[in-house]
Amino acid sequence: MNDEPIIPDPPHPGYAAASRRGTPFATADGRALFLRPIRPDDVDALRRGFARLTPEQVRLRVFHRMNDLSPEVAERLCNVDQAVGAAFVATDADGEIRGEARMYVEPAAERAEFALVVDPALVGIGVGHALMLRLLAEARRRGLSELWGSVLTENATMLDFASRLGAEREAIPAEPDLVRVRFDLRDGRRED
Ligand SMILES: CC(C)(COP(=O)(O)OP(=O)(O)OC[C@H]1O[C@@H](n2cnc3c(N)ncnc32)[C@H](O)[C@@H]1OP(=O)(O)O)[C@@H](O)C(=O)NCCC(=O)NCCS
């Protein structure tokens, strides 16, 4: 006779906390970070993360100057309507947001626009890479055919970063200051 208990063991008590924290990943310099969808209770952390960005990073991300992230805007950014978008954050062991990436699906299209930014103290160690792979996976999961972003022509770091992940570049005829980077999601290419 089988002595297996009929009622399975309850999940490990740490399980809920761990999944709330997100998926762990290691940066190139050995830091342990976590990757997860943004949440409504991230408003204050998102505002602190924004305050750490350099003015130049803000300009490269939103194409204009912006001194702070208002509570209202942060609230909106943390409450993503999953029907039309998705956003992910990379957090450190203290729960501070060290990188953020999001996409918005174009209405009636199989495409989404994306953008991302990484804490200036943590650039160049794979945080953007991890966030971008997460976004690409989400776009594929939704059956989208393309993920695209507008990048300032001068933003060589982002253009190189996207190219190395497999994106193509397209000029935008009416906007010489901008380049469109496109990930074609139908070609079966792997990004990792
Ligand atoms: C562009 C930006 C998001 C890149 O983020 P990042 O975290 O510095 O990027 P990564 O560290 O993942 O990648 C940069 C390089 O670091 C290196 N790297 C270091 N550790 C790595 C790791 N563990 N895994 C992958 N790459 C790693 C790689 O050489 C990588 O080069 P690659 O492009 O060949 O992969 C960041 O510079 C930024 O926030 N810029 C300002 C905002 C901006 O321009 N946003 C774009 C608007 S769409």
- The whole-number mean pLDDT for each consecutive block of 10 residues of the chain, a chain of 192 residues, reads 54 67 96 97 97 96 91 97 96 97 92 97 98 97 96 97 97 94 80 48
Residue 188 domain flag: no
Pocket lining: 98 vs ligand 1, CB cutoff 6 Å: no
Res 5: pLDDT:
52
Residue 153 domain flag: no
Residue 58 domain flag: yes
Residue 5 domain flag: no
Q: What's the number of domains the chain is made of?
A: 1
**Which CATH number belongs to the domain containing residue 93 in this structure?**
3.40.630.30
Separation of alpha carbons 168 and 183, rounded Å: 7
Statement: the pTM of the whole predicted model exceeds 0.75:
yes
Res 107: pLDDT:
83
The domain of 37 spans: 14-143
Residue 3 domain flag: no
Q: How far is the CA of 157 from the centre of ligand 1 (A)?
A: 8
Res 1: pLDDT:
45
Res 188: pLDDT:
57
Res 22: pLDDT:
95
Nearest CA to ligand 1 atom 29: 124
Residue 94 domain flag: yes
CA 90 to chain centre: 8
Separation of alpha carbons 159 and 180, rounded Å: 9
